[in-house]
């Protein structure tokens, strides 16, 4: 214990004492360059983990949600615009993104211990995993949907009357948010017992 204390004290003394061998210019410029390199490296790695190729680098994501996505309109459609995994599952705003990345350490844990490393395990956990995403999207008012689909740009005269009516009733009034009605838009749904569709929800809290 005393040895550890002495070692920490030594470190602090070295850290707190003015430099003897290095000039102020070297330390300032060196610190600046090191900072640039650190930040650049950090950002590059962060961006790399925000690519679909990274997400489907693991068989859990490649064989389950990605395969399901490929059949849906968010992957294949008339205009050829598509959503990638991070478009919906990683917040674009920096602080939210970092917060989500810290949460994702749980997913690294899951990967290491094989929480969903078979189809059966994945299907078994699907409801729980889906609920996490529903909760996140409900709390941020479906921000990741709205990064592409804005209510302002939505021309309801170009929609089927049924859809236009629903959007006027529930979306434009702020009564519901996208995810309340559009669950399962990009992946297969889990057992939905006890989950009412948005238009049948008794609550109107956003």
Partner 1 sequence: MKTRFLIAALAFLAAAPALVTGVIAADGPPPASGPAYQGPKVSSGPHPITLDVQAESTTREIVDDVKRVRNYADQPPLIPHAIRDYQIDLNINKCLTCHDRRNVEGSQAPMVSVTHFQDRDGQTLGTVSARRYFCTQCHVPQTDAKPIVGNSFRDFDAVLGTAGKEGGH
Nearest-angstrom CA–CA distance, 85 and 50: 8
Contact between 139 and 100 under an 8 Å Cβ cutoff? The reply is no
Number of other residues whose CB lies within 10 A of the CB of residue 144: 22
Nearest to 179 by CA among 132, 149, 127, 137: 137
To the question of whether residue 88 is assigned a binding role by annotation, the answer is: yes
Q: Does 189 bind partner 1 (CB under 8 A)?
A: yes
CA dihedral 88, 89, 92, 95 (to 10 degrees): 150
Q: Does 65 bind partner 1 (CB under 8 A)?
A: no
To the question of whether residue 11 is assigned a binding role by annotation, the answer is: no
Question: Applying CB under 8 A, which of residues 132, 197, 204, 206 lies at the interface with partner 1?
Answer: 197
If the CB atoms of residues 47 and 196 are measured against partner 1, the closer one turns out to be 196
Question: Applying CB under 8 A, which of residues 72, 115, 140, 147 lies at the interface with partner 1?
Answer: 72
Question: Applying CB under 8 A, which of residues 165, 168, 173, 204 lies at the interface with partner 1?
Answer: 165
Please report, as ranges, the residues that interact with partner 1 according to CB under 8 A. 71-73, 160-162, 165-166, 184-185, 188-192, 196-201
């Amino acid at each position: 214990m005393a040895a550890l204390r002495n070692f920490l004290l030594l470190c602090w003394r070295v850290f707190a004492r003015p430099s003897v061998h290095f000039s102020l210019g070297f330390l300032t410029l060196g610190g600046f360059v090191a900072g640039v390199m650190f930040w650049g490296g950090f950002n590059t790695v962060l961006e790399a983990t925000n690519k679909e190729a990274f997400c489907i680098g693991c068989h859990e994501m490649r064989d389950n949600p990605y395969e399901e996505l490929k059949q849906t309109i968010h992957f294949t459609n008339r205009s050829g615009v598509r959503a990638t995994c991070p478009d919906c599952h990683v917040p674009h705003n920096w602080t939210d993104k970092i917060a989500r990345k810290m949460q994702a350490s749980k997913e690294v844990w899951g990967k290491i211990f094989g929480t969903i490393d078979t189809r059966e395990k994945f299907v078994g956990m699907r409801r729980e995993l889906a609920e996490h995403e529903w909760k996140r999207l409900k709390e941020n008012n479906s921000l990741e949907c709205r990064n592409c689909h804005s209510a302002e740009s939505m021309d309801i005269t170009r929609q089927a009357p049924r859809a236009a009516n629903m959007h006027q009733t529930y979306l434009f009034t702020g009564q519901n948010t996208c995810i309340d009605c559009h669950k399962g838009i990009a992946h297969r749904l889990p057992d939905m017992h006890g989950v009412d569709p948005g238009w049948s929800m008794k609550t109107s809290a956003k």
